[in-house]
Amino acid sequence: MKAIVWTKYGPPEGLQLQEVETPTPKENEILIKIQAATVTAGDCEVRDLTLAPMFRLPFRLYFGWRKPRRITVLGQELAGDVVAVGKNVTQFQVGDPVFAATGLRLGAYAEFTCLPVRSAMTLVWPKPVNMSYEEAATIPTGGMNAIHFLRKAKVQPGEKVLINGAGGSIGTYGVQIAKAWGAEVTAVDSASKLEMLRTVGADHVIDYTQEDFTRRGERYDVVIDVVGKSSFGRTVRCLRANGRYILGNPTLSGMFRAAWTNRTTDKQVIFEAASYQPEDVRLLLGLIEAGKIKVVIDRRYPLVNMAEAHRYVETGQKKGNVVITVMNVKDNHFQK
Ligand SMILES: NC(=O)c1ccc[n+]([C@@H]2O[C@H](COP(=O)([O-])OP(=O)(O)OC[C@H]3O[C@@H](n4cnc5c(N)ncnc54)[C@H](OP(=O)(O)O)[C@@H]3O)[C@@H](O)[C@H]2O)c1
């Protein structure tokens, strides 16, 4: 099969189209023919190891010290069709359309991948009928993180929710979920994303390059800082009584300050990483099936143009999601 091989830690040019062996499913695994995958901000951070410092050493130990060895194909989310099942698999059949999160196995930048059907670290779920493969591929990162953060924040109808970094994968789902739950939503991002954020339902928008939301004198019931760029102290101070502050991108110091704030104030700071709880998946799919979520797809790239897709995501201009179309890969030419 064709795959985009991650040949080194560094710039997008290290992502190269190569022929690799098609995997064979183990007893509890399915083989998926991938139709669509995505390039997230997280993929770029893993590719060149520009992750938060506390993750760099463990990731190098896991992927390979000098270059990626244990894992050589990136990509953490996908949608496609089941084409083979292991002998113990009863949940899926050949032909089933699915979406999936590959967890630390990665591997979505390829024509095929194998995934276990039951694992706390990965997710495989039937694709919603009212979504295309391209839309469904965005569910694990954007949708699952957003629903996890909003559920942890226990958002109630009528509450004021602010999402910092709202214009990306997680934020565009977050705005729509919060609106569907009856919140009044303020979306913070750069100017080029604000019109799109209004179209997906934001009641108020703030351009963070012009104005710091923590200095406006507004108070919120919930602040979700997807990007982890706002001042910790000032964000806590702009919460209402019993307000909740979600650290989507926590640092070590943020975790210590969260523990202190939780002990000493009536505010709650939460930094629990998202996992693929079935109740979160069902909650999100309920909103998707009810037509409450419109997936924002900014650009689509064929698999062969992966390096270009990474370069675009790194510009920071991405609105919502960037999708990779995997079908019909033939040498270096994309077949329409
Ligand atoms: N905790 C978890 O479980 C978890 C899971 C997945 C991802 N993450 C992390 O969450 C972060 C966001 O993920 P994502 O996929 O939604 O990223 P994304 O698609 O890149 O979206 C992030 C958005 O934040 C904006 N932004 C950048 N700096 C900002 C600032 N100072 N103030 C306000 N907005 C700002 C960006 O716009 P501009 O570039 O135009 O400024 C962009 O629109 C990533 O860093 C990722 O590593 C956390």
Burial of residue 178 (number of CB atoms within 10 Å: 0-12, 13-18, 19+): buried
- The finding on whether 77 has its CB within 6 A of some atom of ligand 1 is no
Return the ∠ at Cα 164 (arms to 224 and 141), rounded to 5°: 70
- The domain defined by 141-270 folds into Rossmann fold (3.40.50)
Distance 280 CA to ligand 1 centre (A): 21
Q: How far is the CA of 29 from the centre of ligand 1 (A)?
A: 32
| Predicted confidence (pLDDT) per residue in 92-102, tens digit | 999 999 999 99
Which helix (H) or strand (E) is 78 found in, with range?
strand 77-85
For residue 150, the model assigns a pLDDT of: 97
Question: Ligand 1, atom 30: nearest CA belongs to which residue?
Answer: 229
Q: Is the CB of 42 under 6 A from ligand 1?
A: yes
CB 45 within 8 A of CB 37: no
pLDDT of residue 23: 97
Distance 118 CA to ligand 1 centre (A): 29
Shortest-distance atom of ligand 1 to CA 319 = 43
Q: Could you tell me the residue ranges of all domains in the chain?
A: 2-138+296-334, 141-270
As given in the structure block, the two tokens for residue 73 are 């194909």
Q: Which two tokens stand for residue 102?
A: 């590959």
In whole numbers, what is the pLDDT of the chain averaged over residues?
A: 95
Hey, whose CA ends up nearest to atom 25 of ligand 1?
165
pLDDT tens, per residue, the chain with 336 residues: 999 999 999 999 999 999 999 999 999 999 999 999 999 999 999 999 998 888 899 999 999 999 999 999 999 999 999 999 999 999 999 999 999 999 999 999 999 999 999 898 999 999 999 999 999 999 999 999 999 999 999 999 999 999 999 999 999 999 999 999 999 999 999 999 999 999 999 999 999 999 999 999 999 999 999 999 999 999 999 999 999 999 998 888 999 999 999 999 999 999 988 889 999 999 999 999 999 999 999 999 999 999 999 999 999 999 999 999 997 655 434 433
Q: Report the pLDDT value the prediction gives residue 326, as an integer from 0 to 100.
A: 95
Long-range contacts of 205-214 (CB under 8 A, 24+ apart): 208/164, 213/162, 213/164, 213/186, 213/188, 213/238, 214/238
Q: Does domain 2-138+296-334 have CATH number 3.30.590.10?
A: no
Q: Quote the pLDDT of residue 330.
A: 52
Distance between Cα 225 and ligand 1 center (Å): 9
Q: 318 in ligand 1 pocket by Cβ < 6 Å?
A: yes
For ligand 1, is residue 190 a contact (CB within 6 Å)?
yes
pLDDT at 329: 55
